[in-house]
Amino acid sequence: MTHSRLTGQPQPERSEPEQHRHMSEEQPTYDPKAVPADAPSDGTATTESVPTQTQTQTLPMPPQATPPTSGRAGRTVVLLGAAVLLAGTSGLTGALLTSQLMDTPTATSSASAVPDLDRSSLAALVAKVQPTVVSIKTGSGEGSGVVIDGKGDVLTNNHVVATANGDTVTVTSSHGDSTRATIVGTDPRSDLAVVRVADRTGLTAAVFGDSDATRVGDSVLALGSPLGLEGSVTAGIVSAKDRTIQVGGEQNGSPVSSISGMIQTDAAVNPGNSGGALVDLNGKVIGINSAIATSGNSNGNIGVGFAIPSNTAERVAGELIAGKQVAHPYLGVSVGDADGGALVQSVAGGSPADRAGLRAGDLITKLGDRTIGDADALVAAVQGGEVGDRLAVTYTRNGVSKHATVTLAESPTQ
């Protein structure tokens, strides 16, 4: 994923081709009741790859893609970190990705220990959490990160460190102290990475909360280094949960894939906020800020930001720190939206879907205990499972309802 944002310090100039790279991305048909645009079912419309039949759109980096004129309006999602940019007063927002927002209501916790918003207490809260957030510079861009333990491990977005030269980056604490950090591991599919600093002076480990317990309407703060402005804090609420967005693309050599379960917030986030913390009013991290939706010709914040849930971020970080390859569940079908379900466009040979007897033209309407209303619902259902899960699948073929059992496998392409 390529990214761009205005950094706080002059960055090396890039050639014009680098500044205006394009990325091809597939988008499912825009349906008024459709969920975020995704499509691979591996949850992918191959859950990791995006459907190839219903969509291919090239999005230039600086001008924004024009939203579809029919069906549900589309959004452009901009990754917030590591930017390729030039000196001057404006930067290029990078890795433009199209995402359709889901209308499907999501289950939320009925109770929350998060206190009501009291503006008079925000200063104390900010003072508590700021030392847990750092700035990350790669030499050609900048993003943010969250300190996750006492060993100097810092969690950030994969697209923040993707532009690093070699395996090191520079980490700057909230006190202004800078030190080198080594990239411990990356997982492009979840857009997460971990770096480790040798000098832990001035770093404080964040406390992670339970993202599943957050409720729509809960107050949150977003911390990071937007546009190179280190130590910035903005306030907002959790606007929605379980959004699906697409990440990846030819700009960073990885296939377009989908991330489901994202937290949507109206707290102002901008390029450079990637990898920073989204915290609740208890000062606990509930998300890692990663992308924003934009519209028109603006690449800046319009009040629609997305964060990777803390539960997902903690799990992936733990695997990366342990030196493991992050396992992603895989179904092996490419799907598009259709009335009442996810329409199978192709089935990968030897995949779980193939072994279960699914074919192109089948309409998947249920997976496990989840009703499937469109392609993104299938993506979310698969990504919500684990490798080895045996799930009942209900589908319609030639007007006849059929049932089968699939065993999710580990994605063959990491």
Q: Is 135 part of the annotated catalytic residue set? A: no
Q: Is 191 part of the annotated catalytic residue set? A: yes
Q: How far is CA 225 from CA 126, 139, 233, 277, in A?
A: 14, 15, 9, 10
The Cα 67–Cα 219 span in angstroms is 30
Which H helix or E strand runs over 413? none
The type of residue at 324 is: K
Catalytic residue among 274, 334, 346, 351: 274
The Cα 194–Cα 1 span in angstroms is 16
Catalytic residue among 31, 38, 153, 191: 191
The Cα 287–Cα 144 span in angstroms is 13
Q: How far is CA 68 from CA 160, 168, 196, 295, in A?
A: 29, 40, 42, 11
Instruction: Select from 173, 149, 169 the least CA-distant residue to 158.
Output: 169
CA angle 108, 261, 403 (to 5 degrees): 95
Total H helices, total E strands in the chain: 6, 25
Q: Is 374 part of the annotated catalytic residue set? A: no
Catalytic residue among 3, 4, 159, 218: 159
Which residues are tagged catalytic? 159, 191, 274
